[in-house]
Amino acid sequence: MKSCDPLAQLIAAFRAGIAKATGCDSGSIDPQVKVSGDPKHGDFQCNAALVLARAAKVNPRDLAGSILQATELGDLVDRTEIAGPGFINVWLSATAIARMLRELSGPSLGIEPAPLPHAVVIDLCGVNVAKQMHVGHLRATIIGDVIARLHERLGRKVWRENHLGDWGLPIAMTLASLRRQRRDFRSLTLDDLNAAYRSAQLEATSDQAGLQAAQVAGAGPHRLAELELQNQLACAAEQDAKSTLLKLQGGDAATVADWKQLIEVTMTEVLETARVLGVHLTDQHSRGESFFRDRLAPTVDAFVSSGLAKEDAGAIVVTFADRERPMLIRKADGGFLYATTDLAAVRFRVQELDGGHVIYVVDARQRDHFKDVFDGVRMIGWDTLSDGTHATLSHLAFGSVLGTDKRPLKTRSGENFTLRALLDEAIERGVQQVMRRATDPTSTTHGMAESELRSIGAAVGIGAVKYADLACDPVRDYVFDLDRMIAFEGDTGPYIQYAHARIASLLNRSGQSAEAIAAADFAITEPAERHLSLCLLQFPHVVLNAAETLSPQRLCAALHEIAIAYSGFYQSCPVLKAPDQAVCRARLALSRLTQRVLAEGLSLLGIHAPLRM
């Protein structure tokens, strides 16, 4: 048990006490210990008596009394009370708080390794070759990165898997269209690819229906001829794409070389965006759809031979007992689908990467897809690990990014925003903000070199965008509102960055060395010190909980609460002008610990914590 986690210690103490008082087996007891919502009712509450008394048909206040009697709290607590119908309220002792703060200020900040028997696999980013990254990829990339960081921090083996969309007809269409235009593949940009992708899609939509409608409607000969030609061109483009796909699949050297070039161009930009975002994503993390190409036919065969898939009008489908919607795994023309690749990928991740938990950070609109894939995998048993246990498969579904008009975010001309354009704007806004503050002669940034101010500004802009995204429940849609995100006040990234930087500057002004501050004793006397300490002491638990429940928003909320608590402390407890040296040193120690926790928390969110802002 963590010696710096008051919640864990109270849970253990009350669990033993309840077992003693009731004779229940301690393993089956939930002692219902919670952080108290109101300091009037103590720091923590144990609410078990209410629940247990109902079942045992005894008076809850009496039961609370005997639980309290049987619970050994030692010097952890210096006051308890039984309140209302049978709540047990407890106040931690100042000595215990100081001791736990000392524990927390060790090198690992109270976060102990929590290894798992198997690896954690995180499907993140998921961009498509020849397409610009848009805001949806922002979410898949940064949420995935934070989940990975949290698990890594807990000492777990993590695989970051960028399931790049690099295979199949859409890519072949783009490839074919660029080849028809005789483009030089070595000088292409992602914008070129994106344009080719879109025109290829338009070209290839064969207009059979339009042609028939025109014939029925008796359109004039000119119009008919025009449509006829369009339709022929579309069919030709489609044919061309199909034959390009065959060449690609067959390993034709020239086609493969061009295809690799498309991937190269796409990845150069994706990795650059990841760098700007401060996300840990490299070439090493790319394992695209093409990686699974030789596993698609065997996947379909396995489903067919185990009787889980059957033929339906030439196609192969998997059906489920509880729903009408089948999962298509092979088209009538023999082509494989997105689902086929994902089935093969889950198998690989569980059986070859040893993934005990496979987490898909993907748009909520793909919920049905993952439900089908996961159910299919479980039916065929591909979720079985080498030790016979079953992997947990999770779809961490995220909502959409909306414009201030509450509609999906679009540019004024109605196009999708590219992620780069959005990030460039955020950086620009961050830079403006930081530059403006630096003109104030009392600001710590006054007189800094422009290049330094720019890099702080970039950290603020990117921090603002990332925090706003991570701070809300992933499944919810949110409004992309740079004005709100970038404010130094409110529940924003810059607010937390600023709290951190202000502490850094305070410590700097104290003239004390880091070692002296680190060696000082904690002393908790004021309510604001107590409140801040209790917020800090929750940090290790929050990190573990955010990782286990895939909830970056819980870490954000905890950091925001700490920043607010620090500001309350700073207002009511003078640090440099403290009544005496010992109090000054204790408050510096508390400030230093707060700074470290904020820096660590921001780093787990992949957000920079500048020392000056």
Residues that bind ligand ARG (CB under 6 A): 123, 126, 128, 163, 165, 342, 345, 360, 362
Among residues 337 and 345, whose Cβ is nearest to ligand ARG? 345
Shortest approach of ligand ARG to residue 370 CB, angstroms?
Answer: 8
Alpha-carbon dihedral angle through residues 547, 551, 554, 559, given to the nearest 10 degrees = 70
Shortest approach of ligand ARG to residue 360 CB, angstroms?
Answer: 6
- Please state, as a whole number, how many other Cβ atoms lie within 10 Å of the Cβ of residue 230: 16
Shortest approach of ligand ARG to residue 140 CB, angstroms?
Answer: 7
Structure-token match 């000054």, residue found: 584
Phi, psi of 35 (to 5 degrees): -70, 135
Among residues 123 and 238, whose Cβ is nearest to ligand ARG? 123
Among residues 393 and 593, whose Cβ is nearest to ligand ARG? 393
Among residues 163 and 560, whose Cβ is nearest to ligand ARG? 163
Count how many residues are written for the chain: 613
DSSP string, 430-461: HHHHHHHHHTSTTSTTTT--HHHHHHHHHHHH
Assess contact for 369 and 325: CB atoms under 8 A.
no
Shortest approach of ligand ARG to residue 341 CB, angstroms?
Answer: 8
| Closest-approach residue to ligand ARG (CB) | 126
Among residues 393 and 589, whose Cβ is nearest to ligand ARG? 393
Return the bridge partners of 398, or none. 363
Shortest approach of ligand ARG to residue 359 CB, angstroms?
Answer: 11
Shortest approach of ligand ARG to residue 125 CB, angstroms?
Answer: 8
Among residues 277 and 362, whose Cβ is nearest to ligand ARG? 362
Shortest approach of ligand ARG to residue 39 CB, angstroms?
Answer: 46
Among residues 162 and 538, whose Cβ is nearest to ligand ARG? 162
Helices (H), 336-444: 338-351, 367-380, 419-438
Among residues 204 and 345, whose Cβ is nearest to ligand ARG? 345
The tokens describing 115, both together, are 């290894």
Among residues 118 and 369, whose Cβ is nearest to ligand ARG? 369
Which residues fall within 8 angstroms of residue 243, CB to CB, at 6 or more apart?
Answer: 176
Classified as helix, coil or strand, 556 is helix
Among residues 129 and 598, whose Cβ is nearest to ligand ARG? 129
Which residues fall within 8 angstroms of residue 484, CB to CB, at 6 or more apart?
Answer: 468, 490, 492
Give the β-pairing of 355-363 and 323-330. Answer: unpaired
Shortest approach of ligand ARG to residue 340 CB, angstroms?
Answer: 11
Alpha-carbon dihedral angle through residues 180, 186, 191, 192, given to the nearest 10 degrees = -20
Assess contact for 423 and 465: CB atoms under 8 A.
yes
Assess contact for 401 and 436: CB atoms under 8 A.
no
The tokens describing 184, both together, are 């030089």
Return d(Cα 509, Cα 499) in angstroms, integer: 15
Return d(Cα 81, Cα 96) in angstroms, integer: 18
Shortest approach of ligand ARG to residue 471 CB, angstroms?
Answer: 23
Structure-token match 């033929």, residue found: 311
DSSP string, 234-267: HHHHHHHHHHHHHHHHHT-HHHHHHHHHHHHHHH
Shortest approach of ligand ARG to residue 362 CB, angstroms?
Answer: 5
Among residues 123 and 469, whose Cβ is nearest to ligand ARG? 123
The tokens describing 584, both together, are 């000054």
Shortest approach of ligand ARG to residue 367 CB, angstroms?
Answer: 12
Which residue, among 543, 539, 555, has the nearest Cα to 596 in the 3D structure? 539
